[in-house]
A and B are shown apart, each in its own frame.
Chain A
Amino acid sequence: GENVEQHPSTLSVQEGDSAVIKCTYSDSASNYFPWYKQELGKRPQLIIDIRSNVGEKKDQRIAVTLNKTAKHFSLHITETQPEDSAVYFCAAPSYNFNKFYFGSGTKLNVKP
């Protein structure tokens, strides 16, 4: 099955700095990669996603880049704010696209 690895497990940045979280996947057939944000005690919510036909996608302060050759994709958050503090998960679909496998999560702490 798909193997998704996520790094780092924790990340602490100063408010206003950028944060980058990286994930690698194993199945070269995977073509859709979402990122979820889970605030403490709340449900994960989709924040951005990317399909394999593009290399980068941006949504205000958040961007995701994809390198299909290297089989990795990254989440970039610029001008971080305290409300960005949360656990972020990447995911990749299974070979038959009927389920997701999640990365181990990154706890982001933005210090004011």
Chain B
Amino acid sequence: GAVVSQHPSWVICKSGTSVKIECRSLDFQATTMFWYRQFPKQSLMLMATSNEGSKATYEQGVEKDKFLINHASLTLSTLTVTSAHPEDSSFYICSASPGIRVETGELFFGEGSRLTVL
């Protein structure tokens, strides 16, 4: 199957700093990328949908200025957690799709990034 790489796999930062997480599709062009947040023992909460070259679409309740998403190319999307605080500590995971419509079933996940804010 297609490969999606996410980096870093884990990061520890001080409160108030910003952290950038990268999501790359290694062997296909990802028209659409998704960012999720996963709390312990909980589901994948969709944060935003990004399409290459356009602004991300955020889900209700997700702060746009807090979680900056950039999808500058067909193989790379980044999530920047700005001015991180302990409550932002979580597991962030991306997924990528080669198409705009997900019903093709082709949705590939990255390995996830565990963020710990001290």
A residues adjacent to B (C-beta < 8 A)? 6, 31-32, 34, 36, 42-46, 49, 89, 93, 97-105, 107
Q: Quick check: A32 and B105 within 8 Å, CB to CB?
A: yes
A interface, over-half SS: strand
Chain B residue with the shortest CB-CB distance to A42: B111
Q: Quick check: B44 and A34 within 8 Å, CB to CB?
A: no
Q: Quick check: B101 and A98 within 8 Å, CB to CB?
A: yes
How far does the alpha carbon of A1 sit from the alpha carbon of B41 in the complex, in Å? 23
What residues on B are CB-neighbors of A36 within 8 Å?
109
Q: Quick check: B32 and A103 within 8 Å, CB to CB?
A: no
Min CB gap B96→A, angstroms: 11
Asked whether A98 and B111 contact (CB < 8 A) given A44-B44, A103-B43, A107-B41, the answer is: no
What residues on B are CB-neighbors of A44 within 8 Å?
44, 93, 95, 109
Asked whether A89 and B43 contact (CB < 8 A) given A44-B109, A45-B109, the answer is: yes
- The answer to whether B42 has its CB under 8 Å from any CB of chain A is yes
Chain B residue with the shortest CB-CB distance to A94: B102
Asked whether A104 and B105 contact (CB < 8 A) given A43-B111, A43-B112, A99-B34, the answer is: no
How far does the alpha carbon of A16 sit from the alpha carbon of B42 in the complex, in Å? 27
Asked whether A97 and B102 contact (CB < 8 A) given A34-B107, A42-B111, A43-B93, the answer is: yes
